[in-house]
Amino acid sequence: MASVKPISPATQLAAFIAKFTPENAALIKALRTRLRRRLPHAHELVYDNYNFFVIGYGPTERPSEAVFSLAAHARGVTLCFLHGAKLPDPKKILRGSGNQVRNIRLPDAAIITHPDIESLIAAAIAHAPVPFDPSTRPRLIIRSISAKQRPRRPAPPVARKSKAKHPKS
């Protein structure tokens, strides 16, 4: 009996990203690359959930200790600050009003290096409940995959019926 080779986390991640439009897939990949450079010792926790595709970044494998996440859906990608309500935000660029999470919409990958966003990232790292350890060897961990998911691509435009009256023959 042949054994089935398990699918690697990297292969699974690529398949999740491939569900998006080419533009959003490229954006997700570019943002992930920039966050990996910025957070070289962070573990990546991946969730392919019903509403969102999420890559969380934290100092440990525990989801409760994650500091950031990229959340993608059919209409774009946001950078979530999981303890954002406690961060100083003098320019008021963080969105959200809950008790904990704040986010920033990311229309392109370059915006993540904007000085205002970079200062929020630095503040979030400084305020992280568990510090990032430079000796940590990061892991890519697939945490969950939902059987049912919202579409990862926008719905095609619906053709409208013409309301013009046709002459009788």
Per-residue pLDDT at 149 exceeds 90: no
Could you report the per-residue pLDDT of 87-127, keeping only the tens digit for each?
999 999 999 998 999 999 999 999 999 999 999 999 999 99
Instruction: Using alpha carbons only, give the angle 104, 77, 96 rounded to the nearest 5 degrees.
Output: 35
Per-residue pLDDT at 84 exceeds 80: yes
pLDDT of residue 164: 54
Q: Which of 156, 143, 147 is nearest to 54 (CA)?
A: 143
Please list, residue by residue across 98-113, b when 16 or more beta carbons sit within 10 angstroms of its beta carbon and e when fewer do. eeebbbbebeebeebe
- pLDDT-derived band at 145 (thresholds 50, 70, 90) equals confident
pTM exceeds cut of 0.85: no
* Tokens 């961060």 belong to residue: 87
Least confident of 45-54, 59-68, 127-136, 154-163: 154-163
